[in-house]
Structure 1
Amino acid sequence: MTTHDDQTQTVTAIMRDTRIAVLTYVSQEGALVSTPMGTQDFEHPGTTWFLTERSSEKVRALEADPRVNVAYASDAGWVSLSGTAHVEQNRGKVEDLWDASAGAFMSGGPEDEDNIALRIDATTAEYWESPGKVAAAVQFVKGLVTDSQPDLGDNDTIRL
């Protein structure tokens, strides 16, 4: 049995291995909307930071209904964070998070009032840790040939 700290380390490793996350929120019309986001920072998987434009439909929707899911997928595995979004207008935080990737996707710079930080406070993380491509392929074939359940890695949900 793995400990909560081990599980948190697994979630952290998968998140760090993923360049682009997928943020899912509820639009003002009530539809689920998913959009790619570059994670700017996270101290712990329970708090992740993104940069976005205040004038976007996404921010208006998040202010009306802050419930979100943030998904990460890489060769290391998959993570699904459930939580709440918070719009942060702190110029210092925007400046701290700003990098070349932000400048490539957002107009203006960190001083532009439309550029804001988006903090996601996650309450749970579901994860699947991949055993690696080769091991997963072997297990998949083994499952087909022997009609047994393949071992495709660890999967669990943790509270953050």
Structure 2
Amino acid sequence: MTSRDQTETVTKIMRDTRIAVLTYVSQEGLLVSTPMGVQDFDHPGTTWFLTERSSEKVQALEADPRVNVAYASDAGWVSLSGTAHVEQNRGKVEDLWDASSGAFMSGGPEDPDNIALRIDATTAEYWESPGKVTAAVQFVKGLVTDSQPDLGDNDTVQL
């Protein structure tokens, strides 16, 4: 599979995901994972989320911006490794704001506490699922025959 094909696979899985899981290092040095609503993106190497400036998450990300973002859908899963950037860009917040944003964040897109979080990814590890039925058949086949089941493609791509 070419790098372009791999990036397309990663993009499809990410676009099919509604809620991603952002993992970061807390100010106490612990790994913390939190659900984040998936926003649209042009390239999987740069993704965006909305969050509240006053959150402990943002304070931790400003101290240590290393993150992992996990996406899972019927198409497979993706694990992005990268760096978080807190953006005070009001125009970006307005562009990303939708009805679901208002359900999880107080105020509206004009609220100065609502900010954009940009993730610049360096790598994406992915597993492309062959589909639920095929995966189930392969899993049972592996159990019955003691052979390694074919559960889809797995690789890492540089973004």
Taking structure 1 as the reference length, what is the TM-score of the superposition? 0.97
CA contact (8 A) 1:84 1:121 kept: yes
Moved over 4 A (4+): none
In structure 2, the gaps of 5 or more residues are none
How far the C-alpha of 1:41 sits from its partner, in A, is 2.1
CA distance in 1, matches of 2:29, 2:77: 26
How far the C-alpha of 1:15 sits from its partner, in A, is 0.5
CA distance in 1, matches of 2:37, 2:45: 16
In structure 1, the gaps of 5 or more residues are none
CA distance in 2, matches of 1:140, 1:73: 19
Q: How many residues align?
A: 158
Q: Identity of paired residues, percent?
A: 92
| Partner SS for 1:36 | strand
Report Cα offsets for 1:40-74 as digits up to 9, x if no partner: 22111100000000000000000000000000011
CA contact (8 A) 1:55 1:114 kept: yes
Residue of structure 1 equivalent to 2:40? 41
How far the C-alpha of 1:37 sits from its partner, in A, is 0.1
Taking structure 2 as the reference length, what is the TM-score of the superposition? 0.98
CA distance in 1, matches of 2:110, 2:40: 19
CA contact (8 A) 1:53 1:114 kept: yes
CA contact (8 A) 2:15 2:40 kept: no
CA contact (8 A) 1:41 1:50 kept: no
CA distance in 1, matches of 2:40, 2:74: 20
How far the C-alpha of 1:145 sits from its partner, in A, is 1.3
| Partner SS for 1:34 | strand
Report Cα offsets for 1:94-113 as digits up to 9, x if no partner: 11111101111111111110
Report Cα offsets for 1:87-141 as digits up to 9, x if no partner: 0001111111111011111111111100000000000000000000110011111
CA distance in 2, matches of 1:14, 1:90: 27
